[in-house]
Structure 1
């Protein structure tokens, strides 16, 4: 009996610890899914904010899924650019019923929609440090791209200084890839023929190739594999963000969690191998700095020496994070911009003619577009701005309060998500006029500051000190590629094209972008 009692003591301890853990988890779920939502909802309601009521435990997630399914079941009839009911149907309904500043619930977390340019600028400027990116989302997104966008304070400033010079190394790779793209299209179209090409995967491959070549030089095949994984990872992360969050859920061995973890491990393994090869080449004096990785590592060493540190400022994990971010941010932004630009110019051939006339005037029919000429392309610039307005790559930004903050006369307690619906701001008739849903590049004839009634109200790359570091290069890339295409082809929509924009990691064509190309 004594022996049995002794043997049972460890099991009693295990059961006791298990019970404590279970009670703690149950309390955390109760706090997260009932107590906090009730407290936050009452605090917002008491100040006159309208919106949907919290429904335990999913909030508006079920309605969100239902509306998305309905919206995706039918395309938009071109040449309409009124896309907000399709790309964000829940927000569309909530704003229509409850106003531009209104509350919705994604699970137990209140999201306050802030559809006001002045308040959006104030939030993104973050002058007083009252906002941060969603804590839960940050943990998931780090699996995809834990670079510059995840950092704060001095670490963010240091990384940005190191990264800035790296963008200049992308230009030769982009020129080479654009030339290959146009040559391949010419071969497929042939002489005096019209050929249908789905430009969406074409532009994805273009930007993926550019990042791979520019980032790793000779490690091109490894770079392509990273591009493929990151594309899948982006879709998985969006699925995780739009599901009900429970404490510790992302650590459970679900099929999705296992896939996200496996993808993250494979990318990190590939990147570590590439970095170690480069480190050995640098030690042997045979390394080239003609790619992003070389620039990143050399600038890191220089920054560390300037700061008087014996160890590099950026660790191996830091460099891996920045390279993952280059893939995520660099490949999709330019690809979707070029895709929607070709779709818009196919819908509005008069602007295609104007853009081609300008390109031929600046570069002629055969000359290679260069930096000096690209800076002269005013009409092309106006077109790209209007495409970014109508089809912003990222349709919303989210920020979370971590201390009480007054904004627009409302006091927001800690823990509230402020959702900045960029696509709604860009289509707001109170801001842009009655023609807000129309393609009118001439509105940017005098620049961004005079394009809208509320100046400025144009946020395709964010705003404030943390505006996208690659925005200028993305626009230069797009001008370069579009100039090459306009020199060689005329184009229009294919009869098979369905106008169906939908947000994945970026605003993408749900059924591709089939364009009829004709060689000039």
Structure 2
């Protein structure tokens, strides 16, 4: 009896502690943080238990995406409606509640610079296990593991290695042009949705450059990763409900199936490339071979233990990230570039004149691509108006001073490129207009040295593949301009929408015409 009574006391005591932790998480801690934020002049809605602003956030996002918008670049109210409403209502020094966690919205370039520079004070949020099914790798790691992976992966993206990959870019470009030429009618024109073609092009490039001779298998992996991204967006908001990820829903089961399939395929490819590397048969002209060789050198130099180099699971995750980041970023940059150049034919003509002056109808080379000033200005302006990621989130895991703000542990900071890139105070009265001329003297001059343009992030964790993506985009746009002129189809519906990255919700319907016809 005494033992039973003692056990009952322990259980009761445990339940009380658990209940207090729940109350603290759901109410006491958020209200304490809210008080601290308001004392510093930050404004936002009062905290509502568990959901915060999530219900309104989701409803506004759904309503905004229910129909196309008129063609303009004032896209913030469509792609980030709740954040825009909050800033309009409460000012730039404001916050929103993502469940019991407040997001402090930062639009001041100096504060953004500090956050993106101080990667130890402002780490990335812990990735929800459901979201990890899509990709982890370098983008989610912190501390020593991030430093080690970054060091090992760096050689894959240096300029000399990218030069080696140019013929692969060109091969994929040629395949795209051949497909489009095969669809032309007798008058040399055709109308099509270029979005799926550009997605397939970018996946073809990353498949060839990542896996070399195994690229056909790589393409199959890409299709699975694409489906995984779409499923991830469907579960994104619910993923923050405690315990929800354990429910055996149809989507959860399918996501786990895809993860298992992709991991098995990548494991097979990696082991084949390692055998080729060991036998001296690896070409070393693809990302995976370069990564495996760099990893081998790291292990040889620092010893083979769990804190050195990458294991097989690490390499699989980095390969998944190659796909997701490499394909997504370039395809959305190209599709919005084609849409905007269709809308602004004078800039399209200027870009084509530059391309033909530098290359004529010859195959583009690295030195020539580096000379394309107008093309580069256009790509920067597209990235400004239509950044691939509309928002970046960082954790505050301990009390920290940021400018005049004292941020308590438990908040997150939200850095919205789409808001900052469209800010008239930072970019002038024409901030919402397409004007590549603003980049005529480069990014530093255009931004006046401020962190007001960060489509690839900024600071130590700036996207490692940005040079890869920009070189691929310059090559693709050059080859397209050599062969086609293009304009918007009457069927085009302007509807920027976030599916991990900023994409055209209803595609990009464009009329292509063979140059010279």
**1: distance between equivalents of 2:133 and 2:175?**
32
TM-score (norm 2): 0.92
Evaluate the alpha carbon distance shift between residue 170 and residue 262 of structure 1 in structure 2; reply closer, same or farther with a 3 A threshold.
farther
Is the 2:166–2:366 contact (alpha carbons within 8 Å) kept by the matching residues of 1? Answer: no
Map residues 58-69 of structure 1 onto 2, 5 A cutoff.
Answer: 58-69=51-62
Q: Which residue of 1 aligns with 2:254?
A: 259
Correspondences of 1:29-428 after superposition (within 5 Å): 29-78=22-71, 80-126=72-118, 129-135=120-126, 137=127, 139-167=129-157, 170-243=165-238, 245-309=240-304, 313-364=309-360, 366-428=361-423
State the Cα deviation string for residues 276-298 of structure 1 (Å, max 9, x = none). 22233334444433322211111
Question: Where does residue 8 of structure 1 map in the other structure?
Answer: none
CA distance in 2 between partners of 1:215 and 1:221 (Å): 11
For residues 439-487 of structure 1, give each alpha carbon's deviation from its aligned partner in whole angstroms, at most 9, with x where no partner exists. Answer: 0000001111121357341100001011001111211111100000001
How do residues 432-511 of structure 1 correspond to structure 2 at under 5 angstroms?
Answer: 432-452=427-447, 455-511=450-506
> Quick one: distance in 2 between partners of 1:377 and 1:12?
81
For the 8 Å contact 1:29–1:246, the answer to whether it is kept is no
Change (3 A) 1:415 1:32: same
Specify whether residues 296 and 350 from structure 1 end up closer, same or farther in structure 2 by C-alpha distance, changes over 3 A only. same
Report the Cα offset of residue 316 of structure 1. Answer: 0.5
Structure 2: how far apart are the matches of 1:25 and 1:489?
Answer: 65
SS at match of 2:56: helix
Displacement of 1:114 in angstroms is: 0.7
- Structure 1 CA distance for aligned equivalents of residues 183 and 99 of structure 2: 49
**Structure 1 SS opposite 2:103:** strand
Over 3 Å counting, the alpha-carbon distance change for 1:255 and 1:380 in structure 2 is same
Secondary structure (helix, strand or coil) at the match of 2:419 reads: helix
In structure 1, the gaps of 5 or more residues are: 1-10
Following the alignment from structure 2 to structure 1, what is the Cα–Cα distance between the partners of residues 230 and 415?
21
Please state whether the residue corresponding to 2:393 is helix, strand or coil.
strand
CA distance in 1, matches of 2:186, 2:276: 47
* TM-score, length of structure 1 as denominator length: 0.92
- Checking the alignment, whether the CA contact within 8 Å between 1:336 and 1:507 is kept in structure 2 is yes
**Whole-angstrom CA distance in 2 between matches of 1:324 and 1:38:** 39
The structure-2 alpha-carbon separation of the partners of 1:226 and 1:18, relative to structure 1 and needing over 3 Å to count, comes to: farther
* CA apart distance, 1:28: 4.6
- Structure 2 CA distance, aligned partners of 1:519 and 1:21? 74
Report the alpha carbon displacement of residue 19 of structure 1 after superposing the two structures with TM.
Answer: 8.3
Moved more, 16-25 or 505-514: 16-25
Pairwise CA RMSD: 2.6
**Paired positions, count:** 509
